Structure 1
């Protein structure tokens, strides 16, 4: 591998950074005095558990520790620390694509929960709630 695992690491890093094109465009707008003061929207990151479990997420913690290198000092092994927060309707709104994905996820969870008949405290091993 010519670049080791750098391309794969770059894909992960692209989840948290705006593109260079977005930054250049904002710089041009700022220099012209027409930039609206608003944070740039990060790319929509999705965590895919399976085809029926896809949730929009924000990356809250991200770090890469390169652990081994080839003779050209390209990383060939790395450890990635990644923490995510599931984004919901309150975060995204109903019109956002991520909001639609969250609603699908929520509806699937509701359908699964409905399959549990007679869900009660005793089904969780509890006699009553503590007072």
Structure 2
């Protein structure tokens, strides 16, 4: 909850495209009411060796799901909705996170006609989920569905709900030169500090006194 005079931060999806120096920032019109997070431990493959049972192979695999609601009636008066486009532009901005650039596709088609043996698959922009100042996460979209809830007379969607599924990319997924690599390391360090700030007192209160001893 926010106090009087406080302004709630808006979550956003940011796409950093190396071919476009201007980041594509898609701020949520309304913050999703829920953010579902699933963490799967990444354990070492020890094949039952007792001495290795507690080893971790890396950070957990984390998946996120959320729903983004968009309503043209609550868009700025001079925004795209006023031009009779409904919520098409913001839907297009979100969907383009999944598309390779058309210029790259055309360039690859030319190379193919010229007989190039190896054509590199297009690289998606680095996508970040910005959920407050403490969570700026590199992510990869894994699921995307759109429910168009209302349309205008021209069948432009004027109200829609977008369901997004994401996998968090860690330092094991990205090269050290990638911005996302550093962002995830910073995220983990911040999480470690938050865990520490929980306080030794709370931990001590949960432990039996005196502590059991093993002989």
| Separation (CA, whole Å) in 2 of partners of 1:6 and 1:109 | 37
| Separation (CA, whole Å) in 1 of partners of 2:118 and 2:205 | 56
Deviation at 1:120, TM superposition (A): 4.7
Mapped contact 2:108–2:119 kept (Cα < 8 A):
no
Q: 5+ unaligned residues in a row in structure 1: which ranges?
A: 125-131
Deviation at 1:100, TM superposition (A): 1.3
> How many pairs does the alignment contain?
124
- The structure with the greater share of residues assigned to helix is 1
| Separation (CA, whole Å) in 2 of partners of 1:87 and 1:58 | 7
Q: Could you state the TM-score of these two structures normalised by the residue count of structure 1?
A: 0.83
1:15-72: per-residue Cα shift (whole Å, max 9, x none)? 1111111211222222223363443221111100112310000000001121211011
Q: 5+ unaligned residues in a row in structure 2: which ranges?
A: 1-80, 208-215
Structure index of larger Rg: 2
| Separation (CA, whole Å) in 2 of partners of 1:121 and 1:31 | 70
Which of 116, 126, 149 in structure 2 is aligned with 1:67? 149
Q: Could you state the TM-score of these two structures normalised by the residue count of structure 2?
A: 0.52
Q: Which residue of 1 aligns with 2:170?
A: 88
Which of 51, 57, 73 in structure 1 is aligned with 2:133? 51
**Pairwise CA RMSD of aligned residues?**
2.1
Mapped contact 1:64–1:79 kept (Cα < 8 A):
yes
